[in-house]
Chain A
Amino acid sequence: MSQETVDSVADYIHPEATDFFHKYVWSYDHKIIAKQYMWTSFLFLILGGTLAMLLRWQIAYPNQPVPVIGGLLKSAFFFDANGAISPDGYLQLGTMHGLVMVFFVIIPLIVGAFGNYLIPLHIGARDVAFPVLNALSYWLYLPAGVLMFTSFFVDKGAAAAGWTAYPPLSDAAGASTPVWGMNLVLMAVFLAGFSSILGGINFLVTIVKLRAPGMTWSRLPLVTWAQFITAVFQVLATPMLAAAGAMLLFDRLAGSSFFLPRGLVVGQNAIANTGGGYPLLWQHIFWFYAHPAVYILILPSMGFASDILAAFSRKPVFGYRAMIISMASIMGLGFIVWGHHMFVSGLNPVMGMAFMVSTVFIALPSGVKVFNWLGTLWGGSIRLQPPMLYAISFVSMFIVGGLSGIFMAASPVDIYIHDTYYIIAHFHYVVFGATLFSVFAATTYWFPKMFGRMMNARLSYLHWALTFLFFNLAFFPMHFLGEAGHMRRLMTSTGYEFLNPLAPWNEFITLAAFALGASQLLFMFNFIHSVFFGAPAPDNPWEASTLEWTIPNPVPHYNFKHLPTVYRGPHEYSSPEAEPADWLPQNAPPGHGGAGH
């Protein structure tokens, strides 16, 4: 580049990194940072999944030594002297599985990886608004994740108070919770939250300020709209979690008692803290963050599904504006429903009523979205390629998880099913069934752009079929367990007369879960193999109309040689204007005709 004058941030191209360190480690390129997030969170996904497998082993085969691993790690970590899961270990596994999956897998994957990769490409920008901050976000997230797993190695192991960390169990130091495990986990979540806030700020500024000429708000792909709304959540809700965690740490390290009442006795021991605080206070602050966080886990997935369904139905998405309004209403309502997690916590029933009503209202925008997805499919020229299958599975699993959510939201019903396997079934249908299926959809869909190669379609079909089958076999029966009264954090269901008949179900679920876990090896193999040996991908393998497909493979570090001008919406499929092709790129000038040129 010679001496040219740069007049705006959008025109600015940061210099291409030449050495390994600046290219792959401390990189400012949003595409590299996205891949860093992707590899790291996939690694944590494997670890977090393994924790779940161990949990399932214990619940199906109570107190029997875990094959292979248990023999190797007797008395270490969460194993007892026989190589079976110890009671403390079981609680650690459950706690860490939840925390790892929420904060270190799903959010970094759908926001950190896909948000980072797609936002600048979708809006026609050369990078995010603050590339250095972007690198910093990743380099806060990675140490946080390492800190998280380090907590398994300290005395008495990792946090064991459940992922919600309710006091007094999580709070009263020396009562029953391992001391440093909980502290490290709180610090890790604090760091990850900070990383998430910085990421959210970056995305908001990027989307508001760096859209290419002609890229109006009503021409943004729905992926980017979803990321925008998610980023608002991240910036405004995550600080609440940081504050709650800071107060809990203050209780544990400085001896204050924000969440501890007076005269607390745990086991036989009176707790030394002076008291005066409220355990319910934690639940309010925690859920004020954690309920919006539930939408951070699903909104970006809704974005992926919307754009992918449109591309593979060869139709514009049905109700583009309704999609955006419904996502925004989910966000608005998401901030005023946190009390529905506390129906049995001693919340005033009048408050419970208000929270129930606001929660049930969320069914409206969610229903609008589901009908719009179905409307998108209706009458389309459907191409059942792997991303489409995954995206359709997203919709169907979201319907199941959404419907069971209505039961949880109704406080009279919730009092009965609260903290049973019913809630486990519900949120796994949403977070695994819906979100992870959308991650598979997004991975197979954008893989050709990210890595310049195609994923193997046959393996993807097989992986889709097995995952869909075993996912439902593993999680659907949990509804029955919940209705039968099986509590969610029980380490063993033997020894309770009313749970004894459920033992065969537990074994069945565990076998299905193992098969589900094993099916993921297919995806892993397909992913890694295709990164290195996949067939070279054409620039626009899906004949899609959004801007990222107008860029040649491999994507140059400046993304767009000349900033594109946008003339139309994101889903220009089957438009008569496009004849003889059936799609028009967003940057094709009017009257241009034929995208297949």
Chain B
Amino acid sequence: MSDESQHHAILSPAFHADRRNLRAMGMWLFLGSEIMFFTAFFGAYIVVRSAAVGSVAMPLDKVLGALNTVVLITSSLTMALGVMHSKRGERKETGRYLAATFLLACVFLVVKAVEYTHHFEDGVFPSHDVFHGFYFLLTGFHGVHVIGGMIALGILWNRNRRGDFDEHYNDPIEMTGLYWHFVDLVWIFLFPALYLL
């Protein structure tokens, strides 16, 4: 890190462990605020959806949705393996799993793009009805979170290749892992709420 390279003090393993704790707490708090953010969307959706009981909400492609669910859950697995290997200081394996996670995220976005294209070809936009408004809102903000995670994964992959991480210092990978599981979890709620209900 740039601030450390200017610095002459030696940062001991104890320092890294201490800072890891701080960062983990910060990340969990951030995820807490993210949960509140998506809760507002889900809460609003529940209100609007339950007022229209009996009507079918949206004809969404359940197969593509299910496929994306599998893709994202698999990416959570590869992310977790990446974190595990980075903690052991195994740089090569870490890089492989980070890349795999990145590629799975790409697959997810491609499938999502296919779905969006179908909607647009059918003339379905957020203005179609209030349910599609929620569909685009929720999947859109989830997609932005996926893209944010991919940027982080790209940076981590490069830093890992450069040799920035070892068994003492790897918390950026671990924190990104926490974030990535959260993004996955949001989808786990999104899929049944939008595709199956």
Contact = CB atoms under 8 A, between A and B. Distances in A.
Interface of A: 1-15, 28, 129-130, 132-133, 197, 200-202, 204-205, 208-210, 235-240, 242-244, 246-247, 250-251, 254-258, 273-278, 281, 285, 288
B9 A4 contact: yes
Q: Which of B12, B134, B137 is the most central at the interface, judged by chain A CB atoms within 10 Å of its CB?
A: B137
B14 A1 contact: no
Interface string B1-19: 0010011111110110011
A7 B38 CA distance: 38
A281 to B, nearest CB: 6
Contacts of A10: 18
B33 interface: yes
A198 to B, nearest CB: 8
B26 interface: yes
Nearest to A210: B22
B60 to A, nearest CB: 16
A262 to B, nearest CB: 9
Nearest to B24: A205
A209 B130 contact: no
Interface stretch (B69-77, B121-129, B153-161): B121-129
Given A129-B26, A235-B32, A247-B40, 4 more contacts: A1-B7, A5-B12, A6-B9, A256-B126
B36 A236 contact: yes
Interface of B: 3, 6-12, 14-15, 18-19, 21-23, 25-26, 29-30, 32-34, 36-41, 43-44, 47-48, 52, 125-134, 136-137, 141
Given A256-B136, A281-B47, A285-B44, A204 B12 contact: no
A242 B3 CA distance: 32
A274 B14 contact: no
Given A239-B36, A255-B125, A204 B10 contact: no
Contacts of B127: 254-257, 273-274
B3 A15 contact: yes
A276 B39 CA distance: 20
Given A5-B12, A9-B15, A274 B21 contact: no
A15 to B, nearest CB: 5
B22 to A, nearest CB: 5
B15 A3 contact: no
Contact of B18 (A8, A204, A258): A8
B130 A277 contact: yes
A129 B38 CA distance: 26
Contacts of B136: 250, 254, 256
Closest 6 CB pairs of A and B: A256-B133, A255-B127, A243-B40, A276-B130, A239-B37, A239-B36
Given A244-B40, A256-B130, A276-B129, A130 B33 contact: no
Contact of B26 (A8, A202, A243, A256): A202
Contacts of B44: 247, 258, 281, 285
B26 A6 contact: no
A8 B36 contact: no
Contacts of B132: 256
Contacts of B125: 254-255
B41 A247 contact: yes
14 contacts: A4-B9, A4-B10, A5-B12, A6-B10, A15-B3, A15-B7, A200-B33, A239-B36, A240-B39, A243-B41, A247-B40, A254-B133, A255-B127, A276-B130
